[in-house]
Amino acid sequence: MSAWVSTDGPILELVHDAAVYALSAAQWEPSRQFIQYQASDDVAPGLARARFDFEVQIAIGERLPGEQLVLKDGLINASEPEAVAIQVRESHLAGVSSGQAAAFHSYYEARLQRIRRFEESVQSNGFRAISSAEVIDEFMATGSWPVDPFPGTVQDPLLRRAWIENVIRLLKEHPRAFRLALVDRQARPFLRRSFWQIVGDRCLLFAVGPPGGGTKTYGHSFDPDVVTTFRGIFEDLWETLPLSAHDNRLVIARLERAIRRRPRHPQTAANEKSSLFLHRI
């Protein structure tokens, strides 16, 4: 695995974002407590080695016990239906070399493992996520998530719809275990540039970088102090949300409204304000 330790750049930005809330940056030494995936070469078209390694690490981290907490401007990849992931994989395999095809197969094997374990993990350990409401409309219009654009655009609108419908199903079938909060992106700008995933008290996984096609930094930490601090930040954010932000009925209604709309230009979707979800965290 091509991991190395970083002492500057995006990891410190992540620490700074956390320090705004926790005032604990002075207790951390990013040179020892954060592992960054740095290899920038592509193992297949659009798939950097760092992103490949990160997907494998997520698949490992998600095997750990404990509730998953996700802060991401978009839906977690493990919530994607298996059939959608397979169809997107097949679209990537067209016209690539045998070596690139092997890389895609390995990447998607890690992804499919995550998808197949996800619902069982939700039922056993619980899951909470904070995302923006705006990004759902953008995904339906463009087929991609801004913070983690790989594996690229989900071209077929029916596959986009199937992904959102799967999340609606999870909300309906596991209302106490699967929780999703939709908030106003403008109130929390770092939703656009960072992604955190915490698994119990054991693991922090993160991506940092500009939204869209910009270069991302991927990494993880198993340091107990780091994981505990980020977990505390998430809990503070969740507690400050109005109940309507993660009210299952309202969230389901918002998602259903998104999949009923016709696709629009992404800028139009980004500028839309939902009267139900103009909340600040």
Going residue by residue through the chain (281 aa), what tens digit of pLDDT does each one get? 333 333 345 555 655 565 444 434 445 555 567 788 766 788 888 788 888 888 889 999 999 999 999 999 999 999 999 999 998 888 888 888 999 999 989 989 999 999 999 999 999 999 999 999 999 999 999 998 877 655 567 889 999 999 999 999 999 999 999 999 999 988 777 677 788 899 999 999 988 876 655 667 888 999 898 899 899 889 988 998 999 999 999 999 999 999 997 554 444 444 444 433 434 44
State which residues form the domain around 102. Answer: 3-271
Q: Is residue 276 part of a domain?
A: no
Q: Are strands 127-132 and 3-5 parallel, antiparallel or unpaired?
A: unpaired
Q: Is residue 278 part of a domain?
A: no
The pLDDT score that the predictor gives to residue 9 is 53
The pLDDT score that the predictor gives to residue 148 is 67
Q: Is residue 277 part of a domain?
A: no
The pLDDT score that the predictor gives to residue 214 is 60
Q: What are phi and psi of 132, to 5 degrees?
A: -90, 155
- How many domains does one find in the chain? 1
CA geometry: angle at 128 spanning 19 and 64, to 5°? 85
Q: Is residue 68 part of a domain?
A: yes
The pLDDT score that the predictor gives to residue 91 is 85
The pLDDT score that the predictor gives to residue 31 is 54
The pLDDT score that the predictor gives to residue 211 is 61
Q: Is residue 280 part of a domain?
A: no
Q: Is residue 281 part of a domain?
A: no
Where residue 86 sits, what CATH number does that domain have? 3.30.870.10
